[in-house]
Structure 1
Amino acid sequence: MKNKVKFNISKVHYALITVTDEGFNFGIPVPMPGAVSISLAPNGEPESFYADGIEYYTISNNMGYDGDLEIALIPESFRTDILKEATDANKVLIENANIETANFALLFEFDGDKRKIRHVMYNCTAARPSLEGQTNEESREVQHESLSLSSRPLPNGLVKARTGNETGIEAYNGWYTQVYLPVEETEGA
Structure 2
Amino acid sequence: MQEEKKNIVTFGLENCYYAKAVIAADGTMTYETPKQYPGATELNLEVNGDLIEFEADNIIYYSSPDNKGYTGTFTAALVPDDFLVDILGEEIDDEDGVQTERSNSSSSPFALLFQFEGDAKAVRHVLYNCSANRPGIGSATGKNVNTTELSFNATPRPNDKAVKTKTKESTKPTVYDNWFTAVYEKVAEA
Q: TM-score, normalised by structure 2?
A: 0.91
Q: How many pairs are equivalent?
A: 183
User: Which residue does 2:116 correspond to in 1?
Assistant: 110
Amino acid at match of 1:150: N
User: Which residue does 1:174 correspond to in 2?
Assistant: 178
* Cα distance in 2, alignment partners of residues 75 and 49 from structure 1: 46
| 1:78-113 C-alpha deviation (Å, 9 max, x unpaired) | 011001100123121111111221110000001122
Instruction: Measure how far apart 1:59 and its partner are.
Output: 2.7
Instruction: Measure how far apart 1:162 and its partner are.
Output: 0.7
162-171 or 16-25, which deviates more: 16-25
User: Which residue does 2:153 correspond to in 1?
Assistant: 150
* Cα distance in 1, alignment partners of residues 32 and 149 from structure 2: 23
Structure 2 counterparts to residues 1-189 of structure 1, below 5 A? 1-22=5-26, 23-88=28-93, 89-136=95-142, 140-155=143-158, 156-183=160-187
* Cα distance in 1, alignment partners of residues 187 and 166 from structure 2: 13
Which segments of 5 or more consecutive residues in structure 2 lack a partner in the other structure? none
Which segments of 5 or more consecutive residues in structure 1 lack a partner in the other structure? none
| 1:112-154 C-alpha deviation (Å, 9 max, x unpaired) | 2221110101111111001111111xxx210011100111001
* Cα distance in 2, alignment partners of residues 70 and 85 from structure 1: 20
* Cα distance in 2, alignment partners of residues 33 and 171 from structure 1: 22
* Cα distance in 1, alignment partners of residues 25 and 97 from structure 2: 34
SS at the partner of 1:130?
coil
Instruction: Extract structure 1 runs of 4+ deviating beyond 6 A.
Output: none
Give % identity.
38
Q: TM-score, normalised by structure 1?
A: 0.91
Please, what is the CA RMSD of the aligned residues?
1.6
SS at the partner of 2:85?
helix
Instruction: Measure how far apart 1:177 and its partner are.
Output: 0.9
